Amino acid sequence: MKTTIKDIARQVGVSQTTVSLAFRENSRISAATRQQVLEVANRLNYTPNLTARHLRCGKTRSIGMLVNDITNPFYALMVRAAAKTVARHGYELLITDSQWNPDKEIRELKKLIESRVEGILACFCEKTDEGFTLLERYNVPFLALDTYPKGFKGPFVANDLIDTGRLAAEHLAEAGCRHPVFFTAEQEMAHFSSFLIIEREFGRILNERGIEFDAGHVISAGLTIASGLEALMKLWKKDRTVDGIFCANSLCALGVIEAGDRLGIKVGRDLAVMGIDDLDICELSRISLTAIRQLYGQLTEMAATSLIDCLREKRPLTVRLSLKPELIVRESSRLKINHAKSRLVAPNISSILDPERVTASGKV
């Protein structure tokens, strides 16, 4: 059995209260008794039982975090940022993963609530409203992170998806694409509000510039290398006029490049490829993938901070914030430049060379 405060009290010959007090700085305990208590505690290998403390105090000093896929570098980055931020304020982070499964999302959220986390940072998988309805119902302070469900009225810190769509459209238009397509997530996810927002703005800007784009130019490619590869293979069989592909993430774009290589398409010259999420490897000269960088670390830090601030001050959460993404142009989409001057520009390698860079793939 684990040593408790009682055991120590008995050994030292003081009350439980005294022992409890001895573990806190500048409480009204004499230096001598504190000394004794700490000694015995150490000898008996005592560690406080947080379960008991939390029950008694009525709060857990913990924040829950829900992500869709912990093995995705961006969620991992967010988790890391959240853990750090939360720890700085004396909180724990309970991490859970829905695996894009709405049922699991609900189950995980319930468990967090039952664990009595004081607040939740939630990346909803957005297939239903159940997730945030649940949190609202049980009255748990929460914040939507990275993206938020359609029509969501609550607090969020997210990436600016309209801007994302716009940047992509403008870039491809300027690169000289006349037949761009959007490779969105797989069928089941393609109707998530985040992808739809990007798609709509992407199309709107293209149309504005006189480039044809409608539902027929949206392809449920998926979000993995394998699915991007397959999607271009399939597309190319029936349509070889495509000259630009905007992928919903960079993994998909890597698959598209691979397919291009196998099909003998000159990526960057005859076909512009770009993705969302700037992975480290996008910078390799062999890849050199144009990507829209989202600031996941900052995003999460801001979210966690404002959640904890509100918790502290017992204010309701009101933050609704969209972070601007950044376009990183590389070789995979220099159609116009290459056509015009046939000149290669050195890829942007600054960040790869910077060992201090916060990285999604990290170390070992």
Partner DNA sequence: TTGAAAGCGCTAACAC
Partner DNA sequence: GTGTTAGCGCTTTCAA
28-47: which residues touch DNA (CB under 7 A)?
28-30, 32-33, 46
Look at residue 262 and give the partner it binds from a second copy, DNA, none, a contact being a CB closer than 5 to 8 Å depending on partner kind: a second copy
Separation between Cα atoms, residue 54 and residue 58, nearest integer Å: 6
Q: 305, 319, 234, 244: which is closest to 274 by C-alpha?
A: 244
Q: How are beta strands 244-247 and 180-184 bridged, if at all?
A: parallel
Residue 313's CB: how many other CB atoms inside 10 A?
Answer: 7
Pick between residue 48 and residue 362 the one whose CB is nearest to DNA. 48
Using CB under 7 A, count the residues that bind DNA. 28
- Would you tell me how many other CB atoms lie within 10 Å of the CB of residue 259? 24
| Closest distance of CB 95 from a second copy, Å | 5
| Pick 64 or 155: Cβ nearer a second copy | 64
Instruction: Give the count of alpha carbons within 13 A of 214, CB side only.
Output: 2
CA dist., res. 40 & res. 185, Å (int): 60
Of 37 and 242, the one with the shorter C-beta distance to DNA is 37
Stretch that binds DNA, among 51-59, 136-144, 207-215, 278-286 (CB under 7 A): 51-59
β 142-146/119-122 pair status: parallel
In the list 10, 15, 110, 188, the residue contacting DNA (rule: CB under 7 A) is 15
Per partner kind, with CB cut-offs from 5 to 8 A, the member of DNA, a second copy, none near residue 348 is none
Residue 3 or 322 having the CB closest to DNA: 3
Nearest-angstrom CA–CA distance, 317 and 125: 21
User: 16 is in the binding site of which of a second copy, DNA, none (Cβ under 5 to 8 A by kind)?
Assistant: DNA
Establish if 25 lies at the interface with DNA (CB under 7 A).
no
Q: Taking CB within 5 to 8 Å according to partner kind, which of DNA, a second copy, none is near residue 18?
A: DNA
How far is C-alpha 310 from the chain's CA centre?
21
Rounded CA-CA distance 230/235 in Å is 9
Question: How far is 38 from 47, CA to CA, in rounded Å?
Answer: 11
The residue range among 48-56, 227-235, 245-253, 320-328 that interacts with DNA, by the rule CB under 7 A, is 48-56
Q: Minimum CB separation from DNA for residue 137, in Å?
A: 16
Measured on CA atoms in the order 225, 295, 218, 173, is the torsion positive or negative? Answer: negative
Q: Take residue 297 and report the two structure tokens written for it.
A: 């670390």
Q: Rule CB under 7 A: which of 56-115 touch DNA?
A: 56-58
Q: Which does 223 bind (CB under 5 to 8 A by kind): DNA, a second copy, none?
A: a second copy
Chain positions contacting DNA, by CB under 7 A: 1-2, 4-6, 13-18, 20-21, 23, 28-30, 32-33, 46, 48-49, 52-53, 55-58
